[in-house]
C-alpha cells in the first residue's frame, strides 16, 4: 500500500482548496449579473403588488415601466418613492427576529394605505414568516399614519387584540411577537422620515416623477 508524506498531503490539500475556491469564485462572478437582475425583478414585483398589480417574473419589467414612476420625495433627504396614478408607494426596511425584513406601503393621496407587501430573509415559517402572506398585508389596508386633520404623524402599531376601529392599530402575528415588534419599529422609523411631506402635501397632487 502506497503511503504519502505529511508534506505531500498538506500540499495536495492546499492545492485542492485553492482550485475549489477558484471555481466557486468564477461561478459566483458569472452568476452575479443574473442574481442582480432577479433581485431587481423581484423588487419590481413587490412594488407592483403593493399597488394592486399582479405581475410574473416575465411581465414585471414591462408592467413596471408602464405604470410606476420613481421619484425622490424631499430631495434634500433623497427619500425614494414610487408613484402609481395618484398613489405613493414608500419602501420600508428593518430587522425581524432572525434577520432583515422589508416591504412597500402604498398610500392614496390622503395617506391612507391602499396596499402593502412584506418579505423577510429568515423569519420562522408559520410564525414571524407570516409577514410575507397576503392575509397579513391586508391587515394594513385602510390604516393611516397621520391624524384625522393631517397635522401630526401617528405611528402604526402591531399589537395583540388590536382595535379594529383604530386607524393606527394592526393585529400582531400570533406567536410572532418579536417579528411583530420589528415590523412596528420598521414602520415608525421608515415612514416617519416622510412625515414632513405627508403633513404638507396631504390631499394634493403628488410629484410627476418626470
Residues 145-155 pLDDT 10s: 998 888 899 99
Last residue of a domain, one of 67, 93, 119: 67
Domain range for 190 is 69-201
What pLDDT does 74 receive?
67
Single pTM value for the model: 0.81
Average pLDDT in the 87-93 region? 96
191 located within any domain: yes
What pLDDT does 210 receive?
45
Same domain? 74 vs 7: no
Last residue of a domain, one of 36, 67, 98: 67
Same domain? 32 vs 136: no
Count of structural domains within the chain: 2
Per residue in 52-88, pLDDT tens?
999 999 999 999 999 999 988 766 667 899 999 999 9
Same domain? 159 vs 194: yes
Q: Does position 119 have pLDDT exceeding 70, yes or no?
A: yes
What pLDDT does 197 receive?
85
What pLDDT does 76 receive?
61
User: Could you write out the DSSP letters of every residue in the chain?
Assistant: -----HHHHHHHHHHHHHHHHHHHHHHHHHHHHHHHHHHHHHHHHHHHHHTT----TTTHHHHHHHH-EEEEESGGGTEEEEEETTEEEEEEEEE-SSSEEEEEEEE-TTSBEEEEEEEESSPPTTTGGGGGSHHHHHTTTT-BSB-TTS-SB---EEETT--TT-TTEEEPPTT-HHHHHHHHHHHHHHHHTTHHHHHHHTTSPPP---
Average pLDDT in the 118-143 region? 94
Same domain? 170 vs 144: yes
Same domain? 107 vs 54: no
The larger pLDDT score, comparing residue 193 to residue 207, is at 193
Quote the mean pLDDT of the chain.
87
Picking from 16-25, 47-56, 191-200, which range would have the lowest pLDDT averaged per residue? 16-25
Dihedral angle sign, alpha carbons of residues 152, 185, 78, 109: negative
Per residue in 29-54, pLDDT tens?
665 677 777 889 999 999 999 999 99
Same domain? 87 vs 105: yes
196 located within any domain: yes
Same domain? 62 vs 95: no
Amino acid at each position: 500500500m502506497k503511503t504519502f508524506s505529511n508534506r505531500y498531503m498538506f500540499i495536495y490539500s492546499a492545492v485542492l482548496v485553492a482550485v475549489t475556491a477558484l471555481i466557486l469564485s468564477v461561478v459566483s462572478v458569472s452568476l452575479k449579473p443574473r442574481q442582480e437582475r432577479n433581485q431587481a425583478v423581484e423588487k419590481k414585483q413587490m412594488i407592483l403588488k403593493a399597488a394592486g398589480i399582479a405581475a410574473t417574473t416575465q411581465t414585471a419589467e414591462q408592467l413596471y415601466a408602464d405604470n410606476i414612476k420613481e421619484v425622490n420625495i424631499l430631495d434634500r433627504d433623497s427619500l425614494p418613492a414610487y408613484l402609481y396614478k395618484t398613489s405613493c408607494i414608500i419602501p420600508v426596511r428593518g430587522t425581524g427576529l432572525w434577520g432583515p425584513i422589508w416591504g412597500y406601503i402604498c398610500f392614496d393621496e390622503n395617506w391612507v394605505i391602499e396596499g402593502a407587501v412584506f418579505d423577510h430573509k429568515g423569519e420562522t415559517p408559520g410564525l414571524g414568516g407570516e409577514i410575507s402572506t397576503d392575509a397579513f398585508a391586508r391587515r394594513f389596508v385602510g390604516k393611516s399614519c397621520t391624524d384625522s386633520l393631517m397635522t401630526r404623524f401617528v405611528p402604526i402599531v402591531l399589537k395583540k387584540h388590536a382595535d379594529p376601529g383604530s386607524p393606527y392599530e394592526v393585529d400582531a402575528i400570533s406567536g410572532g411577537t418579536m417579528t411583530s415588534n420589528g415590523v412596528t419599529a420598521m414602520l415608525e422609523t421608515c415612514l416617519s422620515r416622510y412625515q414632513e411631506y405627508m403633513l404638507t402635501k396631504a390631499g394634493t397632487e403628488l410629484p410627476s416623477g418626470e
